[in-house]
Chain A
Amino acid sequence: MDSGPPSAGTLPTSAPRPPTPNLPPETRGVIRSEFFGVEPLALDLNIPVFKQQEDGRVLKTDVAEQLDGLNDPEREPVEDIQLLTSAVASYRQIFRENPIAGENREVVEALTGNNPYQMMFIDPSHPAINSNNELMDRWKVPYQFHPVSRDQMEIRSAGVDRQFGTADDIMIEEPVQFGNFENFEDNGQ
């Protein structure tokens, strides 16, 4: 396996645009940062880390192979969050922004080819993806993806009790309090 990052950006070749995969037309993704002149990273899709699929999609094998270990009972649950965070970071490295997603399903769609390169970061048949196209934690509860900004995505598991908002929730980043200026006077900023 080739686990190194793609030597993107240094290669002059732009990625080919394979045929659209079998995704519902209403869910086909668009990089909205086109307004900002931010283009996806130029990639050479012929290097080994990228594996062309029969349906035209491209599997990013290093990330996909790491995600094979998702929900592995031999690992700590927090490692699952780390793997997913790493996968989203890989998406962000290529497309210069997080998946545009308010729902788990939309994150999965982006990570399984609903993006300009039709690139898959996780195998769509991964056992952690349920019939609603949602990524589930090891307790069969869909992860909560929380888009904080274009470059920060919090990922949370409901934990053993399968209820969000309880003490056993698992996440690796502190939740952000938006506009909470309670400490404004205290820190004198």
Chain B
Amino acid sequence: MRNPNKKIEMSRRGFLARSACASMGVGGVVNTLAHMRLMEGALANTVTSIGDYKAAIVLFHFGATDGNNMLMPGSGHPARSNYEQHRGVLALPLSSPGGTNDPHAIVADNLAADSAAAAGAENFALHPELGDLKTMFDDGELAFAANVGTLVVPTTAATYNSVPLPPQLFSHSDQQNQWQSSIPDKPFQSGWSGRIADLLNPAWNIPDGKISMSVSLSGINDNQVSLLGDVSQYSVTNNGAISLNGYGTNYANALTDASNPTSYIRNANGRRLKAFQDIMNYTHDHLFEENYNVVVRRARENEGFIGNAFSAANSWLHPSAVDNNGNPWGFIEGTFILQNGINPASGTALNNLPSLSRQLISIAKMIAGRNSLGNSRQLFFCSYGGHDTHQDQGGFSNGAGYVAGDLDDNMATLNNALKAFNDVMKALAAEPTLGGDFNYNDFILASHSDFNRTFTPNGSNPGSSGSDHAWGTNVYMMGGDVRGKNVYGYYPNLNPTGNWTTPGSSRGRWVPTSAVEQFSAPIAKWLGIADTEIGTIFPNLERFADPFTAGYDPTNFNSILSNANMDWIAGI
């Protein structure tokens, strides 16, 4: 019998570990996450410098991209005949008379090597405007995941009417929200990136300093909403940190040195800024007033950190791109400008870049200037809108030639942005000063989309027709640690009335064969979430097959839900 008077020695580490485990049994996700966060922080000691840097980027295609024409069956693929039969005016022929606007053939190594795969299952094609993505795919830097979507439980067409489904399927904002939370069956509380930040921030990032682990280039988003409230999103614009209004660009009208917040110019603006900052340094008894000042002070501090990161990145000059004043562009901007086919010597070169390229430029600069930001684990969120192509989706040919549709334009924008970003990441890894210990495999970019679009078009006019709201879609992932040149998950047979689509509809709305959490969990693990903690980040994951199991039978429809084949990141 235990002596009740005997003192039980327990280390702080042991106490935290036990309390975390206990919370798994009795508490909710919040409690569990709070305990795990505490334990992670305690075990990691106080972080004083950054190292083993990793950045994860979520790129959300708002409005829902037509995944059916982003990644399509290629020559000999068993679904190609259904594609040509049912895609109607949106179908993209594999070859055209001039051959100038053809899809790009790609071969998925994982399917080619799988003896169980159907003949030709490895043959896909990318949208004609994704030529650079084909190169990246072939080089093993890019992969796709097929038919991913929001799910509450494993679902098939046969069980569609008997299992719980994600609320408000086909509704933009609800599905955007559910992709970002990956908990579709609960009222929204947090995003999956936010929960990762809750857990990893204290263990990997310098405490109470520098910028947030969660940085958004797209305003406030759901994906980075913290469950514990400890890691606030920090919004950065395409030009860097958001400054206080009224003091000129980068405080040029109020400060002699933007990086020194007290280098006031002796003018009205300088005095006004000094007065404002002095007021913000007061302490208040009222919590709201005090917290308002804290937010403003933190924003001003973050401006400095972001400014330093951008300054460091801007010192890296492009070898050939020269602006309208004869000065070399920064390497990052120059790469994006040239990739987008814009004359770097035009006075509006930067402003003529699409928003997506501008966002990725800012992200690239923060990665290049990471030593100013204090985070070894960094999460970025960016977005690309304008994909809701109910009309004018596809291009068509008339007497004067090919007229691009909205999807053509979107894919061209995407192609240029991803190619330039990928080039910058590779160049950064080789750059002697900024590169430092940065490696090409220190970033991963993964796409999200509200949902896929209907496989059948909503009209018969090649110019004006489009597609409507559907469900499971094809997404992509890019980076050095991505097991590229593969297509993960299960590509539908593209029969719009078959057993891959929602019952009652003949539009081709694929029931997802992989859940968002199966697709996203590898990112969490890559960032450092332990196997035992994955379920805290993705509480519904246990309902689905282990995403890290590589083997599967792509010809056995009934096996689909028992094996996700989503092990798309190497080394985890």
Contacts and interface: CB of A to CB of B under 8 A. Distances in A.
B504 A178 contact: no
B260 to A, nearest CB: 23
Interface stretch (A5-13, A20-28, A52-60, A68-76): A20-28
B168 A97 contact: yes
A66 to B, nearest CB: 25
Contacts, number: 138
A105 B504 CA distance: 10
A165 B389 CA distance: 10
Given A164-B390, A178-B62, A180-B386, A102 B161 contact: no
Contact of A25 (B161, B164, B237, B461): B161
Contacts of B198: none
Interface string B377-392: 0000001111110111
A148 B173 contact: yes
Contact of B386 (A100, A101, A150, A177): A177
Contact of B504 (A24, A35, A149, A152): A24
A46 B526 CA distance: 59
Interface residues of A, number: 41
Contacts of A164: 390-391, 458-459, 464, 466
Interface string B45-67: 00000000000000011111000
A188 B237 CA distance: 9
Contacts of A174: none
Interface residues of B, number: 56
A179 B464 contact: no
Interface in B477-507: 503-505, 507
B173 A35 contact: no
Contacts of B161: 25-26, 28, 30
Contacts of B503: 26-27
B238 A185 contact: yes
A166 interface: yes
A27 B504 contact: yes
Contacts of A25: 161
B63 A179 contact: yes
A146 B63 contact: no
B552 interface: no
Contact of A102 (B239, B387, B392, B469): B469
A101 to B, nearest CB: 7
B60 A179 contact: yes
B245 interface: yes
Given A149-B173, A188-B245, A144 B390 contact: yes
A35 B168 contact: no
A176 interface: yes
B315 interface: no
Given A35-B167, A184-B237, A103 B63 contact: no
Contact of A181 (B64, B164, B167, B219): B219
A77 interface: no
Contacts of A144: 390, 458
A19 B479 CA distance: 56
Contacts of A100: 167-171
Interface string B145-179: 00000001000000011001111111111101000
A163 B466 CA distance: 11
Nearest to A169: B391
A102 B511 CA distance: 14
A63 B245 CA distance: 50
B135 interface: no
Given A35-B186, A178-B63, A179-B63, A149 B464 contact: no
A61 interface: no
Contact of B219 (A36, A148, A177, A184): A184
A126 interface: no
B567 interface: no
Contact of B384 (A24, A105, A179, A184): A179
Given A165-B391, A178-B388, A149 B63 contact: no
24 contacts: A27-B504, A30-B161, A33-B167, A35-B187, A100-B167, A100-B171, A101-B170, A102-B169, A102-B469, A103-B505, A106-B504, A144-B458, A146-B469, A163-B459, A165-B390, A165-B392, A178-B172, A178-B176, A178-B450, A179-B386, A180-B62, A181-B218, A185-B237, A188-B242
